[in-house]
Amino acid sequence: MKPRLKRGVRLTYDHTRDIQVLLYPEGVLVPNPTATAILQLCDGEADIAAITLALSNQYDGVKAEQVVDVLTRLADRQVVEWS
């Protein structure tokens, strides 16, 4: 499973709010720092194992189940899809 942002969705920096935001056709989401780190790795090429490994290089105690949980919730919001 290789997650990626759905068409029309983009992660960008909002200079006014001084935070990362996820823009999509129906609105704006403000992901927490964990979700932002995961979303930055969702390029449609990296699978869950690769994303977990990349995050493990930055943070301690990252588990694949946690990554899947975050991505599942984002997929439920229609901003992430699996290929």
Q: What is the total count of domains within the chain?
A: 1
Residues 6+ apart with CB under 8 A from 58: 37
Q: What is the pTM (predicted TM-score) of this model?
A: 0.93
Which CATH number fits the domain that encloses residue 46?
A: 1.10.10.1150
Would residue 26 count as lying in a domain? yes
Residue 50 lies in a domain: yes
Give me the domain span that covers residue 32. Answer: 3-77
Query: How does pLDDT run across 6-49, given as a tens digit for each residue?
Result: 999 999 999 999 999 999 998 999 999 999 999 999 999 999 99
Distance separating alpha carbons of residues 37 and 55, to the nearest angstrom: 8
